[in-house]
Structure formats: C-alpha cells, structure tokens
Amino acid sequence: MSDLSNDMALITKVIGQYVEGARTGKGSVMQPAFRDDATIVGYVGSDLFAGPIRLLFEWNDANGPAKDVSARIASIEVAGTVATARLEVSNWTGQSYTDLFTLLKDPAGWRIAQKAFHTHA
C-alpha cells in the first residue's frame, strides 16, 4: 500500500471514530480521534458554537445516541503531515451537518486538530 493510500485509510478510520461517537452518544468514543488541543467552530442556528473540542464531547454526551446517523466522506486531501477531510452527516438526532476537519499526523498518528461545521436548515 502506498503512503498516500495508507494515510487515506488511517484518516478514514479516524473519521469513523468520530462518527461512532455520534452513533453511541459518547464523547469518550470520539475523543481519541482528536488532538487534546483541538478546537471547534460553527453556527447552530444564529448561535456561535466555538472553543476547545471538549465542548463537542460535552454536547454529544448531553445530546445522546444518534442511532440513525449517516455519514459520507466527500473528500480527503493529504499534504505530507497535514490533511483536510469533508464529511456530510445526516440525521444526527434530526440534524444534518457539513463537517470540515483539519488533521495533523504526529508520532501518535493522524488526529483531528480542528473541526469547522455548518448546520443545514
């Protein structure tokens, strides 16, 4: 497997951890997909949701399981030790989102450094 193919597979696995966290409603399940210093930013309606990634974990725990969530990776681009991924998410407890992730490859592997999102009406 080429380095790029391997990176794409590993990034896909990281995104899968995030989606599984949504499905289970457990922030602890998605947490390993993120760097400890990761951040989140986006709007929920007209309200800005921004700050350290723990806010997502806390929201996910309070929101509960999204058993019918559906997610599709629309794109992944890799440039050495950085990458971007676009995820289209449907039916996360009734909401749909576009997630844009920035990932960093460090000695621990690929992890999400930043999540920006759009909530669809």
With contact defined as beta carbons under 8 Å apart, do 69 and 23 qualify? Answer: yes
pTM for the structure as a whole: 0.95
Q: What gap in Å lies between CA 69 and CA 9, rounded to an integer?
A: 21
Domains and CATH numbers, the chain: 3-119 (3.10.450.50)
Q: What gap in Å lies between CA 12 and CA 62, rounded to an integer?
A: 26
Could you list the mean pLDDT of each consecutive 10-residue stretch along the chain, which spans 121 residues? 90 98 98 98 95 98 96 97 98 96 96 98 88
